[in-house]
Structure 1
Amino acid sequence: MLLASCGSGDGDLSASPAPSTSPTPTPSPTPSPTASPTPTSMVALTGNIAPAHDPAILKDGNTYYLFTTGNNGDAEGLLALRTSTDLKDWTLRGGSYTALPAWTATAVPGSTGMWAPDISKVGNQYRLYYSISTFGKNQSAIGLATATVIDPTKPAANWVDQGPVIQSTTSDNYNAIDPMAFTDADGRAWMTFGSFWSGIKLIQLDPATGLRLANDPAPRALASRPSPGAIEAPYIVRHGGYYYLFASFDSCCQGANSTYNTVVGRSATVDGPYVDRDGKAMLQGGGTQVLSNGQGTGSRFVGRGHVAILQQSDGDYIVYHAYDTTKNGFPTLQIQKLTWSTDGWPSV
């Protein structure tokens, strides 16, 4: 079963799909097929890596914690936790919630899942953000759960729900899902979010609580696409003297037909303007491609998006989901090395 998440679709826009093998050695003495090698940038993953939709990752000590989207009834649970000690072999630990928080029934009637998580640690507090929505509507909310300990054997016992951070209604021109929290170079806390509608937004958080800062103005616009182009799932990191905004274009959640792909732009300031490598503003649909959708190439995994960026001493990694064409479009965890050019642009 495909997990509905990524974005909850739109009312103003409609997801519009955008549209190497190694040489085989001369066989001797008998012909035999030769598989193409795994690209060197790919991390060879083992263990429980599917279904995994909208991955969020944190390394703390010697453990990697990875959370994914979940819906009521999923065997993996709501906001399923997986752990690894080497970034390669993953163990499913179970759901972070046993049921949707009570406040969501009023905030988003009809919601049945907790989507598109984001995980971070501030001081000794873990902060797990999540999305509440229904597919195709922007009556949505971003919630926060906190913990001081993550017990991988009992993930649902860890989290204390703190309620909503930001909500959107049908009268808003944005969609309050797909959160990602981060700290800028001056120590200020921010959250970027957004799916479809008018695009990617930014709000300021209270660093002490992880909730929205009191008297924060209306969400700031960071990126958008002309209709009917789809944009969602933002992720911001600092590298060198710039902030880099990664986002997913086109359609997710359609299995082997998904055209999800990942682009990036950068800005010298956290609130933009973000531009791509050619200088086109992301508010005007700009974005330099980092991950193609894989369609039409014979690739096993297509629809590559909803990324998280893992920055660590041995280099950076891009963590995302893609759909396995050999398994009926099953959403599957993927991890690749992310490299940076001399002029400061990321690629895989």
Structure 2
Amino acid sequence: MAATDQIAATPTYDLAKEFKEFEESKMGVKGLAESGITSIPNMFIHPPEVLSTLKKPTSHTKKAIPLIDLSNLNVPTKRQQLVEQIREATSSWGFFQVINHGVPLSVLNEIIDAIKAFHDQPHEVKAKLYNRDNDKQGVMYQSNYDLYRAKVATWHDSLTIWTAPEEKRGKEEDIPEICKKEMAAWESHSSKVAEILLELLSEGLGAEAERFKKLGFFDARLLVGHCYPYCPQPDLTVGLKPHTDSGFTVLLQNQVGGLQVKHCDEWVDVEPIPGALTINIGDIIQIISNDNYVSVEHRVLAKASKEPRISAVAFFNMNTNAGFEPLPEILSSDKPAIYRKSTMTEFLESFYSKGLDSKYFLKKVKIVN
């Protein structure tokens, strides 16, 4: 049956009831996939206008997000070249990949294996960590963090571990033993990469190297281990719907693929490159840079691959009480601020009032002339 035929034939159903039953099962989409289903529940079926964008064009020029080699980072005569490469990448794509970033391949392999091992556990074991209370923070396992705010669910499960600030930090005893050591190593190494890249981004704006660090971009840190399991009908749903992120992110993906970035109204695959890290600057940096850097939509496709897509993501952001606005030192009479001053509290209130979205907050704080 064609996807459009199935959607047309889908009877009216109680979405809230289906969400509730799924939530109470605490089995996640991996549990659904392992139950032997051959068709996905109605709550995962996306509308035709979304599904139509999943179809690949019959022919197009192959695009790829920028790939930046950091091997010359400590060569003084080469640093400016790196700054310019990153500035160009973030002003047009908002995403780029880095290689020779200093993180040992063993650390990268081990974190992917550890996240997979966590999600491979019986759902009764993972259910002990299941929680949807955004105020709880700490350590959580969940499927679709915005389940009740979204109109349709997506095909992924997540392990979330807060590492800063202290009041949100996950307790050592709550972090699953199966991935505890690997998560600690991933946080340490991804933080070093983030610090290097935020310095280069700051220099690309003509500001001092530590400007982003001083603004507090390491004050709120979050580690997420996503699992996108086998999906029997990947043409009817998505792994993660189109959205933009708030803060700066460092992402590692396994070789299954599925991540896509929107560039010039076209969805471009972020091809897995062994050992590479994928970088996304996020909405807050777009505001601070006064649109010199752009935050872009991205999504993850659902796949019929028996091997799940696994990703490790490190998020870096300001703490709840922080304020932000375009950097004064990059403004002039010719280039005035295009965003008003705002706070992380305002951003989070907006974020938690709806499901994953794209640039909703940027539109909200943009100054209309």
TM-score (normalizing by structure 1): 0.26
More helix by percentage? 2
**Greater relative contact order structure (CA < 8 Å, 6+ sep):** 2
Higher strand share: 1
* TM value normalised by structure 2: 0.25
Larger-Rg structure: 2
